[in-house]
Amino acid sequence: MAKKRATGAGRKPRGEFQGKSAVLTTRITPETRAALERAAAQGKNRSLSQVAEKAIDEYLRKPKHKPERGNHIRALGEAIMLVVLYIERATDQRWTDDAFTGEALRQGCNRVIAHFAPRGTPITPRLIKEAATRLAQDTARAASEKLRQLSPMPLASAKPRQAK
C-alpha cells in the first residue's frame, strides 16, 4: 500500500490565485512559454501557472468594446497602427526615436484622417463656440489683471492726455 502524504505536505501554493483544482492542458509555442517563464521570474512568488492564469483572467475580464469607444474610433486606431508599422518598417527606425520617421508618421496620420473624414464646410458646434468664448473672456480678464499689477498707477485713475 502506498504511503499517504501527511496533511500540509507538498509544495505550498504561490501567487494570488488560491484553491486551483481544474486542469487545462494546451500546446503553446516555445516563444510563448519563454515569455511566461520570464514573466514568472520577474514577479515575486509567482509560478508559471499563476502568470498564465493572470494573463487569461485579465484577457477574459477586459471589456472588449467600451461603449464610449465606437467602431469608428477603434477603426482609426487600427489604421494608425498599420501606418506606424509600415513607416517604421520602411525607415527601420522607431517614430519616437527618429525625427524623419516621426514626421512621416505625422503626414501619414493626416492622410488617413483626410481620406476618411467627411468633406464639406465645417460648422463649429455650439459647445465649442461657447468654450471658445469663455476661454477668450478668461484670457482677457487674466491679461487685464496682469496689466493692473504691472502698471505704475491704477488704470482706473489714469487721466487721459489733453491735446495741445
Distance, in Å, from the CA atom of 14 to the CA atom of 45, rounded to the nearest integer, reads 6
Average pLDDT over residues 41-59: 84
Grid cell digits, residue 19: 484553491
Instruction: Specify the amino acid at residue 32.
Output: T
Is the confidence at residue 83, as pLDDT, over 70?
Answer: yes
Average pLDDT over residues 140-152: 88
Is the confidence at residue 139, as pLDDT, over 90?
Answer: yes
H-only helix segments in the chain: 30-42, 48-61, 71-91, 99-116, 126-150
Is the confidence at residue 156, as pLDDT, over 60?
Answer: no
Distance, in Å, from the CA atom of 120 to the CA atom of 130, rounded to the nearest integer, reads 23
Q: Domain extents for the chain?
A: 23-62, 66-118
Is the confidence at residue 151, as pLDDT, over 90?
Answer: no
Q: Over pLDDT 90: what percentage of the chain? A: 48
Grid cell digits, residue 136: 477668450
Is the confidence at residue 100, as pLDDT, over 80?
Answer: yes
What mean pLDDT is reported for the chain?
Answer: 85
